[in-house]
Structure formats: structure tokens, C-alpha cells
Structure 1
Amino acid sequence: MTMRVLTTIAVMFFACGFVAQFALQGVTLFLRSAGAPSSMLGLLYVAAIPYTLRFVWAPLIDRVRVKNQPRFRPWIIGCQAAICVLLAVMLLTDPAETPRAILIAVASMMFVLGTQLTALGGLIAEGLDAEDYHKGASVQGAASALAGFVLGAFVLFLLGDLGWQVVVATLLAVSTALLLAAMFFLDVGQIVTPDERPSWLSQLSIFGRPQPRLLFLLSVLISISILFPYASKSVLLVDAGFSVSQGGLIGIVAGNLFAFLGAYLAKPFIERFGAFNLLIAIGLCNIAFALGLAFLVRDGINTIGIAVVVLWSSFAVFATFTANRSIILRLCRPGRQATEMASFTSVEAMIFLALAGAGISALDQVGLAPLMLGSALISIGGVALAMSQRDKFQPLGSRTGVHEKAQEPSKT
């Protein structure tokens, strides 16, 4: 049972990541190549807002249930079908002639992807036993990173010069194959009837409990020292003297490879030392890399140093992601797993985006070295706080480490 659900998680998160990264990275390349102004490219990020606001309609996914079916199956398969329809529509567009139509399709796609991601988060929480949550989190991160690697290394690199229609047709073919796999072969969990449903306005209820609030704060503080290099990798690589193709090779292809390794290697570490200890270890490494980069660029740009830190940031973000999810999954309450997972991850993403945006905006005025030094000092405080609160997340005998243990819903 566990292996079948993990296979579903791997396939469907690959499907999500494959299309999402194309929408945010591949579409930008094609629009820019077609002469789109920067104002149009800026609208592309506005079109991605529905993806981060998925927690707003997350209670709908927990509340609406189809009888005699695993409760997340209609959402997962329905969203995958909608993605295929939107890709078919995009196949009829042209970056030079109909850029606004592409933006509308991207906005619609991000809404659908956000909904599908919410349902998949619920499947992880409900379809796996608590002791296997770290496996689900690791598979989720590794599959998403692998999707970015395949998109960058094979689809965009090998097929990009053949044109928009060829690339979109490839995505449509892959997405359709994954839809058929989800419909006929993949296990989307047992038929579960939770004892409760979230209210329509319960989106942020998870932050009303002390442990999720503390975990959220620690996640932000520990990650901030490496968040800026991760979010601004393209800017840093270009400033370091890399060409666009070299930057794409390092930031997208190699970056996603390191992200895959971060998610994959997190699993054995968690099994041996615990997810909370992994958060602390990653935080210490983040501080070391941030201080090292601040030292290297104090007198100017250091090409090798920036490339190394960019690759480490991909590794660290996905390892932290795996540890984080391993813990928060155990804190989600039965019947509202999709809502609470979506709320935690969405608010976290919005905070990260805001911090990264502030860092990028201040880069030219403040400089890279002071930014990295300041963020490292914040992370030092985060690691110190984490170590002082370790007993709240590391009860004896728990690998992923939480006091709360979700009550098992009834299964039929």
C-alpha cells in the first residue's frame, strides 16, 4: 500500500512540477525571444498569484467528497485533465502574436495546479502512515526537482529551438500520458471518511496552534540565509559573468539536480537523526555558506563562489522542504489535511517571495556581501532558537519528532 501511494505521489508531483516550471520559466524564455517587453513578463508573475493563494479555496477540497471514491481522486484526475485542455489551448497560440492569450492560459493553469497540489498534499497526509511521512515529503521534493531537470535539460535545451508549438506539444503528450496513468494505474488512496470537515473560513486555523506557529517561524529564520541566492540565482549568475545559456545550465539543470539530491538524501538522514535535527544541520550549513560568500565577494564578484552557493541553495531549500513537510504532516488534523497543508505551505511561500523580492530590490544599493552577512546573523538566531526548542519537537522514539499525533480517520 505504502509503495503504491508513494508511486502516485512521485508521478503526480512530477506532472505538477513539469508544467509549473514551464509556465514560470519556459514561457518567459519564449515571450522574451518573441520581443515581449519587460512589463509583459512582469504580468507573468502576477498570473502565478493563484498558485500561492490556493489555501483560500482549500476547504472546498476537504469538504466536497464523492461517494465510494478516495476523496482526493476526483480532484487529482480532474485537475490533470484540465491541465491537458489548457495545454491544448496554448498549442493554438503564438508568443509573438497572442502573448495575452498565453498569460490568461498561464493564470488558469496556475489556479488548476494550485488546486491539484492541495489535493496531493491531502493524499500524502491521509494515504501514508505517520512514520512514512518523511518518505512522502522526500518523494514530493525529488519528483518536483526531477521535473525541472527534465524540462531544462531535455525539453527546453533539446527542443527549444524547434519552436513554441513543438515544446507545448511535448508537454501535452507527457501530461496526457500521466493523466491516463492516474486514471487507470495509480493508487490514490483508500476510501476514507474523516470524522470532521473544515469550515469554509478555516484556512489559517493551523496557525492557531503553538507547534505549527513555532515551526513556521523556525523555517523562515533558518532558511533566510540561503533564500536570497536561491530566489535570485539568475541575477547572481548573470552578474557573476555567466552567459544566459551558462546561467540556465547552472541555475536550472544543475540546480534541479542538486535539488533532487537534497530531497533524496534528506530521507536517510531523517530516518537516522530525525527531521528536526536535519533542520538544525541545514541551518548551520546555510550560515557557513552565507558567511563564506559574504567574505568572498567583499571586494567584488567571485564567480566560483556564487556558482557554488547557488547550487548549495537548491540542495538546502529542498532538504529543508523535506524536513519541514515531514514534521507539519503530523500536525495536520484528520479531515482537514489538504486545507492545513495548503495554508502552511502557501503562507510560507508568500513570506519567502516577499523576503526574496526585498533582497533583490536592495541588491544594487546595499551590495551582496552585507545582504549575506545580515541574513546569516538572522539564521544564527534561528538555529539558536531551534536548539532551545528541540524538546518540543523531539520526543523519545519519534523519528520526525512532534508531540501531537493525528487521530487515524476511519477507513472503509
Structure 2
Amino acid sequence: MRPTSQPTSASPDAPALRGGTILLLAALYCAQGLPSGLIAHALPVMLRQHGVDLAVIGALKLIALPWMLKVLWAPWIDRLSSRRLGHHRGWILPMQAAVLAGLAAVAMLPPDALFGPWLPVFLGLLLLLNLAAATQDVAADGLAVRLLPARWRGLGNSLQVGGYKAGMIVGGSLLLLVVEPLGWRTSIGLLAGLVALMAVPVLLFPEQRRLPRLAPLDEPAGPALLWRHYRGFLARPGVGAWLLVVLLYKLGDAVGSPMIKPMLVDQGWTSAALGRLTLVSSAAGIGGAVLGGLVYARLGAVRSLAAFGLLQAAGIAAMAWLAGGAPVQAVYAVALFEQVADAMSTVALFAVMMDRCRAGHEGGDYTFQACLQVLAAGAAGAFSGVAASALGYGGHFVLAGLLGVPAIVLAAHGGWRGMETAPAVSAPAR
């Protein structure tokens, strides 16, 4: 790899979103969701079925460390590129190949060995798989920022959120349904096959034509790049106000959502019933992501952030209505509303995060914001059980809804709009 060059600029208000771009972004983020669904949803169930200790299952969270630490190497992904494959493809294709290799290795070993004497090796493979997926994500986010016209970044993030959720459903819920009748090796092999299929649009993407290189950037890719990169991001006007929005925007959801399933379990919901609810609400979330992108294109950044944030706060607060017990239909209605509102707010936040990226620093700038949001949400979510125990489920969800109000006020105020935005880059079709 070699230092990449300054991207070209185009009008951020380009009127159309290419069909090829839609397919490319949907495939990229679905490919990330497939192994994530395996690790987050399917593995905990299968590990417990094989008698693995709960402490080990809880430690699966540590496998996600690359997703939180990717901010440390993201600037180099912006600076280095492949002469033959192009900047973003030069990172995405090798990382997808590494994910495929990891899944192939997992498929070759029997589950009795993986969940038994080979468990440390298995967890090590999953850690490497997450490292590859997190690195690919930086390049994919940078590619999305450069490709998407500013007006359509909401819809672009609908593809990101919806594609990822679809991958999570297939790699998690559906994998659990097929692993017994098809067997471990076939099921994981099919998962790997889907990841390979998602790489086809990346292989066909003419990056050198769509995103041509110009003069090299002055910023060298040396050891001090990390400091220079983020110092430049933090020095811009309005960045403090914006990062406060990033920190607070999903705080209420982070506090409230971990307690939804425990509340329903305490009300007598079975695992099968919760599985059906999760599947239906996840599908509703995909629809909410698409709706959020379309509405974002009409409302713009400030009004979308405020309006969708209000829906998100209302959705999590509405869970308090279920705390004393409610009919199944009421639970589904509230859960679906909460998932749609959550997806819409996520789309708005991610779209504005794209707008806050500097040209030539898209992957690193977006990753910095995303990691900040994930860390804030993780820290808040860690205290959700304490709050629910102290306040009861009803009081807990009311508190979670109120925690979303400061971010709504800050988003509506718009003091963060002084940060320059990254233009989309797209060469004319040939």
C-alpha cells in the first residue's frame, strides 16, 4: 500500500443516487452483519447448550474490542491505498477474504471440539475475524462518505442500518434455526458463502473511475499521523457542540434497551416467544431505517435529528406502560414502535456524522465519532441493571426517555453546524 491522494469534490446536492451505489452499500453492511449475528446472537445460545460457563459467555464482549479500538488505526486506512485495487477496495477485499478464511476455519472444526478443548482457539479466531471486520468497516464508511451526495446520506445510512440488521438476522436468528437440521459445517459454510456473495458488488465497483486520485496529500503516513489526524478534527469550529450531541443522542436508548427482555422474562415470556418478538421487531427496524432515510432527505439534518430523537425518547419511555404487564398485542405494538424509532434516529445520527467528516479523512473522522458514541452507550448501558433495580422497570424506562431530552435540545439548537462537511465524490458515468 502507498499514500493515497486527495479526493475530488463534487456538488453535495447531487440529485440522484445510483442503483449501483445502493447495491454496493447494502452488500457491504450486510456482509458485516452476517458474522456479527453469529457472534452476538447465535454463539451465546450454542455455547450454553454445550455447557460452557456463563463467565466465558459473558467474556464474548471482549471479542468486540477491535470495534472500539479501530479508531487507533483508522487514520492509516485513510492514508494508504492499493495501486491495483484502489483505495477503499484495497482494504475491503483483503479484509473480507480474511473474514471468509476465519469462517472456513470455524466450519472445518466440529462444534464439540470448538466448544470444548479448542474453545480458546475458537475465541482467538473470532477475535481475528472481528479485527478484519472492524478494519473493513473503516474503509467501508470512508467509501460511503465519498460516494453519497449530502442529500442522500440519510438514505445511504438506511442501507447501512438495514443491511447490517438483515445480516444480523441471517447470521443470528436464522442460523439457529438451520444449524440443527443442516449441521454445523453446512450452516457455517452457507454463512461464508453469503459473505462471499456480498463481495461481488465490491469486486465489480470501478473505484479508479468513480473515485479518481489527484495530487497526494501533504500529510505523511508516519508515526505521528494519529495525533495530527485527530488534532485536525478537534480543532474545527462547532466540534465540541457536535461531539456532545454524539455522546448524548443514544444515551436514553443505551440505558433503556438492555432491560426490555429481562422485563419480559420476569413477566413470563418464553425464549421462543422472545425470539419471535425479536425477529419481527428487527424486520420493523429495517423498515424504519428506510423510512428514516427518505424523511431525512426532506427534513434535512437539524429537523431530522430533533424529530427522530423525540420519537426515540418516546419509544423507550413507552416501555414503562408495559412494566405492570400487558397483552401480547400491546407489547408487539410498543416494541415495533421502539425499533422503528431507534432505526430512524440511528440513520439521522450516522448521516450527520458523515457530514462532519473532512475530505480526505473520511474513514478516520467517521470512526472517531462512531467509537465515541459506542463507548458512551456502553458505559451508560453498564448501569442499566442498577437503575432498573432501584427504580423498578416503570421508573427505569421513564428515566431512559428523559435522558434523551438534552440531546434533542442540542440537536435542534444546531450550534454544531459550523463544522465543514465532506463533499461526495463521484465521477460522471462512462
Check whether TM > 0.5: yes
Partners of 1:42 and 1:66 lie apart in 2 by 39
Matched positions, count: 399
Is the contact made by 1:55 and 1:203 (CA closer than 8 Å) also made in structure 2?
A: no
Match of 2:87 in 1: 71
CA RMSD of aligned residues (A): 2.7
Picking from 127, 142, 166, the partner of 2:162 is 142
**Structure 1 contact 196–334 (Cα < 8 Å) conserved:** no
Q: Deviations over 1:311-366 (max 9, x none)?
A: 33332222112111221212211111100111111111111111112113442343
C-alpha distance after superposition, 1:233-286 (max 9, x if no partner): 4433323321112212212x1232122112100122112111321221122223
How far has the Cα of 1:54 moved from its partner? 1.1
Partner in structure 2 of residue 281 of structure 1: 307
Offset of residue 24 of structure 1: 1.6
Question: Which of these residues, 347, 367, 382, is aligned with residue 322 of structure 1?
Answer: 347
Residue 195 of structure 1: aligned partner: 217
Contact 1:51/1:114, CA 8 A, preserved across alignment: yes
User: Quick one: distance in 2 between partners of 1:274 and 1:160?
Assistant: 47
Q: Map 1:397-408; keep pairs closer than 5 Å.
A: 404-406=420-422
Instruction: Tell me which residue corresponds to 2:402.
Output: 377
1:41 aligned residue (49, 52, 57):
57
Relative to structure 1, the CA distance from residue 290 to residue 23 in structure 2 (aligned partners, 3 Å threshold; closer, same or farther) is closer
Counterparts of 1:25-104 in structure 2, within 5 Å, are 25-67=41-83, 69-93=85-109, 94=111, 95-97=114-116, 98-104=118-124
CA contact (8 A) 1:148 1:256 kept: no
Structure 2: stretches of 5+ with no match in the other structure:
1-16
1:130-149 C-alpha deviation (Å, 9 max, x unpaired): 33322321211111122223
1:88 Cα deviation after fit: 0.9
In the TM superposition, residue 86 of structure 1 has moved relative to its aligned partner by 0.3
Residues in 2 aligned to 1:46 and 1:308: alpha-carbon distance in whole angstroms: 34
Match of 1:112 in 2: 132
| One-letter code aligned to 1:333 | R
1:173 Cα deviation after fit:
1.7
Identity of matched residues, %: 21
The 8 Å contact of residues 313 and 405 in structure 2, kept in 1 or not, is answered as yes
TM-score normalized by the length of structure 2: 0.84
Deviation per CA, 1:15-41, whole angstroms, max 9, x where unpaired? Answer: 111111212211112111111110110
Q: In structure 2, the residue corresponding to 1:254 is in which secondary structure?
A: helix
TM-score normalised to the size of structure 1?
0.87
Equivalent in the alignment of 1:165: 185
Question: After alignment, is 279-288 or 113-122 more displaced?
Answer: 279-288
After TM superposition, the structure 1 stretch with the greater mean CA deviation from structure 2, 169-178 or 207-216, is 207-216
Q: Distance in 2 between matches of 1:404 and 1:369?
A: 42
Supply the distance in 2 between the matched residues of 1:163 and 1:237 (Cα, whole angstroms). Answer: 31
**Shift in Å, 1:9:** 0.9
Write the deviation string for residues 363-383 of structure 1: whole angstroms up to 9, x where unpaired: 234322222222222322332
Distance 1:103 1:342, change over 3 A: same
- TM-aligned CA distance change 1:408 to 1:303, over 3 Å: closer
The one of 330, 336, 340 aligned to 2:365: 340
Larger relative contact order, structure 1 or 2 (CA cutoff 8 Å, min sep 6): 2
* CA apart distance, 1:203: 5.9
Q: 1:313 to 1:210 in 2, by over 3 A?
A: farther
Which residue matches 1:294? 320
Is the aligned partner of 1:123 residue 2:146? no
Which stretches in structure 1 are left out of the alignment for 5+ residues?
Answer: 394-401
Per the alignment, residue 397 of structure 1 pairs with none
Contact 1:330 1:405 survives alignment (8 Å): yes
Q: 1:122 to 1:133 in 2, by over 3 A?
A: same
Shift of the 168–68 alpha-carbon distance from structure 1 to 2, 3 Å rule, reads closer
Distance 1:239 1:335, change over 3 A: same
Rounded Cα–Cα distance in structure 1 between residues aligned with 2:193 and 2:273: 29
Relative distance call for 1:62 and 1:281 in structure 2 (3 A) is: same
